[in-house]
Chains A and B, each alone.
Chain A
Amino acid sequence: MRRILVGAHYGLTDWLVQRLSAVVMAVYTLVLVAVAGYHGGIDYAFWQALFANSAFRIGTFLFGLALFWHAWVGMRDIWMDYVKPTALRLTLELLTILALLGYAGWLIDILWGPR
């Protein structure tokens, strides 16, 4: 079969996003585990104080953005690989996007909403 591939950088952005977001999440995870370990566990007062800190809230928000974007790239790969009917695949992709946008709103509400 003769194939001419055009658009050689197709998917490069997704590839890069997947790796950069992974690094962001890994760093956040290790920092959180280290902070909790240094404090000797998590109780309510410590947890509350942590989320009262603006820097931690912004860091958590960045972790969330990395997570949602990462999940989008990964889930879209899965739908593209296994769901061949176009209408069904687009529906699943749309539902994935809606879920992730909803989760982003939920996270903002958790971080900056009224308690």
Chain B
Amino acid sequence: MSTVERPVSKPRPVYLNLTRIRLPLPGIVSILHRISGAGLFLFGLPLLLYAVQTSLVSPKSFDSLRSFLAYPVTKIVLIGLVWAYLHHFCAGLRFLLLDIHQFIQLRPARQSSWVVLIASLALTLLIAVRLW
């Protein structure tokens, strides 16, 4: 990369007041991708391993896992993790498409951001309804 001369004197704006930053829609999708990824690592991954292990021990443990997942509280946590997985999945797919130069203009970038947000929420709702 070549070096670029920039005027030294011009003060660059440092504007990190989180309550006043208005993130554009693709930015919201991006930060949710990060938050959902962190949540999946911290909570989703150990819970998934625990669930798979329990489900395979015996028919009895399979049933006990199933009844554990039937509690309203566990259902809410599960739906949260399902949303995290789906949002991370859809937003990740969008990033892969951006990598091959799809939806990089402003309008398509916004539209595909809406699609990611709405598709992952709609799929989550669909699964939540079936779960309940």
Contacts and interface: CB of A to CB of B under 8 A. Distances in A.
Contact of B56 (A4, A67, A78, A110): A110
A60 to B, nearest CB: 9
A106 B62 contact: no
A66 to B, nearest CB: 12
B49 A78 contact: no
Contact of A115 (B37, B56, B93): B56
Contacts, number: 54
A59 interface: no
Which label, helix, strand, loop or mixed, suits the secondary structure of the B interface? helix
Nearest to B38: A78
A17 interface: no
B89 A78 contact: no
Interface residues of A, number: 27
B62 A44 contact: yes
A24 interface: no
Contacts of A75: 38, 41
B6 A1 contact: yes
Contacts of A4: 3
Contacts of A3: 3
Interface string B46-70: 1001001101110100110000000
Contacts of B45: 67, 71, 103
B1 to A, nearest CB: 5
Interface of B: 1, 3, 5-6, 8, 34, 37-38, 40-41, 45-46, 49, 52-53, 55-57, 59, 62-63, 89, 92-93, 96, 99
